[in-house]
């Protein structure tokens, strides 16, 4: 399910507000003190860098106010000096930053409230909604910029977040990852504004603007990353990589195979918008489609004969669709190749029958009917009757077409003569 930008932004705003309200409660403020409940944490004050006799112990509401007022940079310094954990410092600062932007939060909230509830939830269906979304994006961007300025990159991640960061960015240092994240966010906002202005209808002039932003983003990435770092980043996050993830799912490449295929595809798509097909004109898409054979030829030279044969089979759209059905029916993985093999063999034989000029239309119909019955029997043995019905309703339409063609050409059965009545 795709989450709308406004809904996501609103959720962030609510979370920040709740955190701020949370830390203002007197009883909670005392509990948040890093030395107010050492027994429950089991931490060693010396190991954590917090003095056992520090002023954090028994903190009163007044001292909390002194700790969190003034310049935000000074607040960060005081929280760190008092020994607050980095994750808690970030949580507190997120709430305080949201408070500094309270006027803008209220402006957005008032704009949301101004839309009558019976007209639906605020989205991007009207100019007013688009303005709300744009305000929310800019506010979130400004808040994140200020947090980064105050705290630097977020190094206090959970194991889950750290695993996803590693998966997306590789071995880049945290500061470079933060810069990449902000760069991507800024360009995403700019592109979203262009799409919103046209209500997601991309006109030629909009396509030019989007292409220009892509070019500028690529230039900024080249300034930020070395050539090898940029390749590793694109290997994980580019439009080409995302497309290959889906295309190669059944092929299940090794890391070396994926890198090889990616490089071939990247070199090819460098001629056509770096893989961003949505930005291509109709003519450019046609030219790209007609040139795809060059990719196949290059892959044939870099993959082993066995793996190239697997690649050709397992990246065929018919194979991928059939594989989804096989998976949903909990059939053996080998069933996909069997079904696609039947389709290819049957289609080839059907073409030969149709092209045979020595056959009459009726003879051709009889042979096609027999071919359809043979394919049906074989597929039923693999899929079962229910599975075959599902297959024919989806990408097995070729079998239905074969049956219909056979029925049209097959000669009609002559009527059975009835005996003459006895006088």
Q: Tokens representing 73?
A: 């940079």
Distance of alpha carbon 33 from alpha carbon 64, whole angstroms = 9
Q: Are 72 and 97 in contact (CB under 8 A)?
A: yes
Q: Are 168 and 236 in contact (CB under 8 A)?
A: yes
Share of the chain above pLDDT 90, in %: 45
The ranges assigned to domains in the chain are 1-39+56-119, 317-409
- Which range in 10-14, 157-161, 184-188 is most confidently predicted, on average pLDDT? 184-188
Average confidence score pLDDT of the chain: 81
Q: What pTM was estimated for this model as a whole?
A: 0.63
Residue 303 has what pLDDT?
A: 95
Counted residue by residue, the chain has a size of 423
Banded pLDDT at 3 (limits 50, 70, 90): very low
Residue 308 has pLDDT above 60, yes or no: yes
Residue 127 has what pLDDT?
A: 65
Residue 414 has what pLDDT?
A: 57
What does the pLDDT look like over 275-300, one tens digit per residue?
667 777 788 888 888 888 899 999 99
Q: What's the mean pLDDT in 64-88? A: 90
CA-based torsion, 349, 355, 361, 363: positive or negative: negative
Q: Tokens representing 117?
A: 């509830």
What does the pLDDT look like over 323-371, one tens digit per residue?
999 999 999 989 999 999 999 999 999 999 999 999 999 999 999 999 9
Banded pLDDT at 81 (limits 50, 70, 90): very high
Concatenated DSSP letters for 264-325? HHHHHHTTTGGG-GGGS-HHHHHHHHHTTHHHHHHHHHHS-HHHHHHHHHHTSHHHHHHHHH
Torsion on CA atoms 7, 12, 15, 21, rounded to nearest 10: -120
**Cβ neighbours for 192, distance < 8 A, ≥ 6 positions apart:** 5, 133, 137
């Amino acid at each position: 399910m795709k989450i709308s930008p406004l809904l996501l932004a609103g959720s962030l705003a609510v979370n920040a507000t709740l955190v701020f309200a949370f830390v203002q409660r007197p009883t909670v403020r005392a509990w948040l003190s890093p030395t107010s409940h050492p027994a429950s944490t089991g931490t060693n004050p010396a190991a954590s860098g917090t003095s056992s006799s520090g002023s954090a112990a028994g903190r009163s509401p007044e001292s909390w106010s002194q700790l969190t007022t003034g310049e935000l940079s000074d607040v960060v310094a005081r929280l760190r000096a008092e020994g607050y954990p980095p994750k808690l410092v970030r949580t507190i600062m997120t709430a305080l930053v949201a408070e500094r932007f309270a006027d803008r939060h209220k402006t957005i909230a008032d704009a949301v409230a101004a839309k009558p509830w019976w007209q639906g939830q605020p989205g991007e269906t009207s100019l007013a909604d688009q303005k709300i979304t744009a305000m929310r994006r800019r506010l979130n961007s400004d808040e994140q910029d200020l947090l980064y300025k105050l705290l630097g990159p977020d190094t206090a991640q959970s194991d889950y977040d750290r695993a996803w960061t590693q998966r997306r960015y590789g071995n880049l240092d945290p500061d470079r990852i933060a810069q990449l994240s902000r760069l991507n966010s800024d360009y995403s906002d700019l592109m979203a504004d262009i799409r919103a202005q046209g209500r997601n209808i991309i006109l030629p002039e909009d396509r030019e603007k989007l292409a220009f932003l892509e070019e500028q983003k690529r230039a900024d990435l080249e300034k930020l990353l070395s050539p090898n770092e940029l390749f590793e980043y694109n290997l994980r996050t580019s439009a080409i990589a995302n497309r290959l993830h889906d295309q190669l799912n059944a092929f299940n490449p090794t890391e070396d195979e994926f890198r090889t295929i990616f490089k071939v595809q990247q070199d090819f798509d460098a001629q056509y918008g770096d893989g961003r097909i949505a930005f291509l004109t109709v003519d450019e898409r046609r030219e790209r489609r007609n040139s795809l054979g060059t990719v196949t030829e290059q892959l044939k030279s870099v993959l082993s004969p066995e793996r190239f044969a697997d690649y050709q089979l397992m990246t065929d759209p018919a194979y991928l669709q059939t594989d989804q059905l096989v998976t949903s029916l909990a059939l053996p993985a080998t069933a996909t190749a069997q079904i696609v093999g039947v389709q290819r063999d049957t289609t080839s034989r059907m073409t030969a029958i149709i092209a045979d000029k020595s056959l009459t239309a009726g003879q051709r119909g009889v042979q096609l009917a027999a071919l359809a019955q043979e394919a049906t029997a074989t597929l039923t043995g693999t899929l079962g009757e229910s599975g075959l019905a599902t297959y024919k309703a989806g990408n097995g339409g070729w079998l239905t077409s074969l049956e219909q063609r056979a029925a049209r050409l097959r000669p009609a059965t002559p009527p059975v003569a009835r005996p003459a009545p006895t006088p």
